[in-house]
């Protein structure tokens, strides 16, 4: 479920991009968060998880929802491809808190942020104290 794989870009269906963006908008002014699960090589699903902190500057996934998703991933041999959350007030990159609290370094971190005319998202590989941006390829 948590195999580390070198990633140069992140392939994401447009439908899942739109689903995440809708959740980000619905959660305002709070941060939105969730998992991106690879059920099959060509079947990626973004799954919203409740932010128990209900904060505009922090998120913590609801433990029961998180455990249920991880159990399903184990049972079905699905892969955790990414974790996403929003930064309603910026920045458009991982914060020091994101780096310090990253629990799944093998998963791509997607961060949603406001920009003129709407929302955008960037993808990152997180290290202990640094990050590397990777491309998002919408399909």
Q: What is the DSSP string of 14-60?
A: HHHHHHHHHHHHHHTTSPPEEEEEEEETTEEEEEEE-BTT--SS---
Nearest CA-CA partner of 86 in 23, 138, 8: 23
The per-residue pLDDT string of the chain (139 residues; one tens digit each, 9 = 90 and over) reads: 444 445 678 999 999 999 999 999 999 999 999 999 999 877 999 999 999 999 999 999 999 999 999 999 999 999 999 999 999 998 999 999 999 988 887 899 999 999 988 999 999 999 888 999 999 999 9
- Report the Cα 50 to chain-centroid distance in Å: 13
Q: Are 82 and 110 in contact (CB under 8 A)?
A: yes
Note whether 135 and 108 are within 8 A (CB): no
In this predicted structure, what is the pLDDT of residue 7? Answer: 60
Cβ atoms of 83 and 98 within 8 Å: the answer is no
- Number of C-beta neighbours around residue 119 at 10 A: 16
pLDDT of residue 117: 84
Which among 21, 30, 28 is positioned nearest to 58, based on CA atoms?
30
Predicted confidence at residue 6, as pLDDT, reads 53
Distance CA 52, CA 133 (A): 27
């Amino acid at each position: 479920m948590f195999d580390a794989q070198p990633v140069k870009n992140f392939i994401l269906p447009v439908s899942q991009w739109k689903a995440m963006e809708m959740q980000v908008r619905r959660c305002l002014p709070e941060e939105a968060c969730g998992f991106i699960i690879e059920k099959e090589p060509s079947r990626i699903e973004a799954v919203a998880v409740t932010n128990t902190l209900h904060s505009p500057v922090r998120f913590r996934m609801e433990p029961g929802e998180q455990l249920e998703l991880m159990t399903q991933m184990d049972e079905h041999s699905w892969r955790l491809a990414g974790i996403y959350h929003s930064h309603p007030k910026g920045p458009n990159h991982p914060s020091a808190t994101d780096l310090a609290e990253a629990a799944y370094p093998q998963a791509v971190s997607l961060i949603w942020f406001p920009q003129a005319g709407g929302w955008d998202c960037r993808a990152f590989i997180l290290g202990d104290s640094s990050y590397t941006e990777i491309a998002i390829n919408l399909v």
